[in-house]
Chains A and B, each alone.
Chain A
Amino acid sequence: MASTAKLPNLNQVSRVDQVGVEERAARFCARSIKNESKQEALMMVLSMIDLTTLEGQDTPGKVTQLCHKARHLNAARPELPTVAAVCVYPTMVAVAKKALTGSNIHVASVATAFPSGMSTTKIKLEETRMAVAAGADEIDMVISRGAFLQGDTRFVFDEIAQVKEACGKAHLKVILETGELGTLDQVRRASVLAMHAGADFIKTSTGKVQPAATLPVTLVMLQAIRDYYHETGRMVGMKPAGGISKAKLAIHYLVMLRETLGNAWLTPVWFRFGASSLANDVLMQIEKQRTGVYQSLDYFSLD
C-alpha cells in the first residue's frame, strides 16, 4: 500500500432518505429549459459525452467507425463540439488512440475485470497498466461489489487506491454499479469511499446492470461530491452512465448538476455522460432548434 489515503468511517456518512431524493429529482425534471438555454445545454451535453461501445462483438472496425463519429458528430455542422471521450474495452484502446490522433478526444478504457470485477486484484492492476500503456487517458474501473456488500470496505478501498496508483497520469473513474448496491445509503457510502481512495470521477454504472443511471442515484452521488469538496477542497467529477439516451433527460441531469454543485462543474472536465445513442438524439434536437422542424434518425449517422 503506497497510498496515503485513509479509509473514512463510513458509519458517519450522512443518511439518505429515498423518497426525499426522488422528490427532489422529480423537481429538477419540472424545470423548463427553452430557447437559448436549451441550445447551450445541448452543446454542453454533446461535449460531455463519453461515446461508448462495450460489446463482446466489438472489433477494430467498429471502434474506428465510432471514433470517426466522435470526431465528426455532424459532417454538415463542423462548428459543433466533439464528444469528450471514446470509451472502449482495453484491447481496443490502441485502435481508438490511433483513430483519435490529432483530436482532443480522450480515450477511456474500462478495466478491472469489467463489468463484474470478479477477478483478483493482481489481474485488475495488470489490466489497468496494460490499458494505460496502450494509451488510455482515462480508466473506468468497477468496484468489488461483493466485497462492499459483504462489509469488507477496507478491501474495496485498498483496491481502488491501488488501481489509482496503477493509472499513473490517467484519470480514474470509479464505477459503483449502483444497480447492485441496493439502497441509496449504500450509494452514498460507496461514493465517499471511492473519493477518499482517490477517484477522480465517480460513475454510476457499467451499463450492463439494470437499473443503470437514474436521477436519484446521481443526485446522491453529486451531494457526496459536494460534501467531499467542502471537506477536502478537492473537486471530483461525476459520470452517470447507462440509460441516458434522450436529450431531454440529459438536460434534466444538467439542471440537477447546476443546482447541486453549481457552475464550476458544468464542464466536460467534471461531468460526463456514459452513452452510446444519446449523441444522435442531441443532434436531432439541435437541428430541431435550428430549423424548427422535428427530425428523423434517418438523417443522422449510426455509428
Chain B
Amino acid sequence: MAAKYTVSAKRTSAKVGKKTRRATPKTKNVPVAKTYKLYINGKFPRTESGRYFKLEHKGKVVANVCQASRKDFREAVVAARAAQKGWASASAFLKGQILYRIAEMLEGRHQQFVDELQAQGVLKAPAEAEVDQAIDCLVHYAGWADKYQQIFSAVNPVASSHFNFSVPEPTGVVSLLAPQRSGLLGLVANIAPAIVGGNTVVVLASQRLPLCAISFAEVLHSSDVPGGVVNILTGATDELAGQFASHMDVNAVIYCGTSKQTITEIEEQAANNVKRVITRAGKYAHGPYTIKDTLEIKTTWHPVGA
C-alpha cells in the first residue's frame, strides 16, 4: 500500500513540472498482467476450488485461467435464478439500451480484444474481423429487444367469446457451453440472443480461447447489465457439461459443438427436469429465430363481455 501511495505522490508531483519527471531515472515499463477470474453475480471471484490451468501460446504462459468447479457453477445458477425475474421484467426498451451499451463498451475496448485474441493465437486480420462482428452482433440484437415479441406473438381467433393471445416469455435460466473455436464472437453470438429474450445465463467459455470471455465480463460489468444476468466461468468443458445439463434449476442448455458423446450426455442429463436442449454448430445464426430457441410461448384467455 505504501508503495502505491508513493507512486501516486510522484504522479501528482509529475504534473507540477517537467523537472521532476526528468529527474526520475529512465527504466523499462513493466506491463501489468491481468488476473483472469470468474464472473458470478456481478463480481469477479476466483474459483472456490483454487484450481487453474495454464494458457500457453508459443511456449509462453499467457495466463493462469481459473478452472471452475461444479460449486462455482452452482453459485452461478443461484445468481442467475435470482436475477431472472427482474431481468425478464425489465422493459424491452431498457434491454435494448443495455445491449447497445455493451456494444459501445466493446467498441471502446476494440484493441484490447484484438490483442487478446492474438495472444491466444488468432491472426491479426481475423481477430479484428471477429471483434467487429461481435460488436455488430450486439447492435443487431439490441435492435431486436423490442421487436421479436411482435414477430412471435399472436392474437388467436378462437371460436368462443374470448380474447386469446400468445406471447413469448423467457425460458428462464439458460446454461451455455460456448463454442471452442471462437473466443469472442462465438460467446457473444450465443449470450446476446439468450439475454435479449429475458433469460439469464451461465456460460462456460471456450476452454481453448477463454481470455476474451473474462474481458467481455468486464465489458458487461460496465454496461449496466445487472449482476447475475450473465455469469461466465472458465474451465473444462468435459468436466462441467454434465452439470450444465443436469442442474434442476436450469431451464435450457445450449451446447455449441459437435461432439456426439457430449450431446448424448447433455440430452440424457437434460431429461432430469425436461430441460430444453439446443445444439448449435457451424455459422453463428443471427436473428429472431435464435432468440426464439430460449423463449416459451404463453397463451392467455379472457372472456369478452360487459
Using a CB–CB distance below 8 Å, which chain A residues touch chain B?
Answer: 17-20, 22, 182-184
Contacts and interface: CB of A to CB of B under 8 A. Distances in A.
Contacts of A22: 161, 305
Nearest to B305: A18
Contacts of A20: 303
A179 B303 CA distance: 21
Given A17-B305, A18-B303, A19-B305, 14 more contacts: A17-B303, A18-B305, A18-B306, A19-B160, A19-B161, A19-B162, A19-B303, A19-B304, A20-B303, A22-B161, A22-B305, A182-B306, A183-B306, A184-B306
A182 B306 CA distance: 9
Interface string B179-203: 0000000000000000000000000
A17 B306 CA distance: 7
17 contacts: A17-B303, A17-B305, A18-B303, A18-B305, A18-B306, A19-B160, A19-B161, A19-B162, A19-B303, A19-B304, A19-B305, A20-B303, A22-B161, A22-B305, A182-B306, A183-B306, A184-B306
Nearest to B302: A19
B163 to A, nearest CB: 10
* Contact-residue size bin, chain B (C-beta under 8 Å from the other chain): under 10
A183 B306 CA distance: 6
The main secondary structure of chain B at its interface with chain A is loop
Nearest to A186: B306
Interface string B267-306: 0000000000000000000000000000000000001111
The 7 A-B residue pairs whose C-beta atoms are closest, nearest first, are A18-B305, A19-B303, A19-B305, A19-B161, A183-B306, A18-B306, A17-B303
Contacts of A182: 306
A18 B160 CA distance: 13
Nearest to B304: A19
Contacts of B305: 17-19, 22
Contacts of B306: 18, 182-184
A183 B305 CA distance: 9
A30 to B, nearest CB: 16
Contacts of A183: 306
Nearest to A183: B306
Of B160, B161, B304, B306, most A-chain CB atoms within 10 Å? B306
Nearest to A21: B305
Contacts of A18: 303, 305-306
B303 to A, nearest CB: 3
Contacts of B303: 17-20
A156 to B, nearest CB: 21
Contacts of A184: 306
A19 B161 CA distance: 7
A18 B162 CA distance: 11
Of A19, A20, A183, A184, most B-chain CB atoms within 10 Å? A19
Contacts of A19: 160-162, 303-305
Interface in B153-181: 160-162
B231 to A, nearest CB: 45
B158 to A, nearest CB: 12
B280 to A, nearest CB: 45
Interface in B125-166: 160-162
A58 to B, nearest CB: 36
A18 B303 CA distance: 8
A17 to B, nearest CB: 6
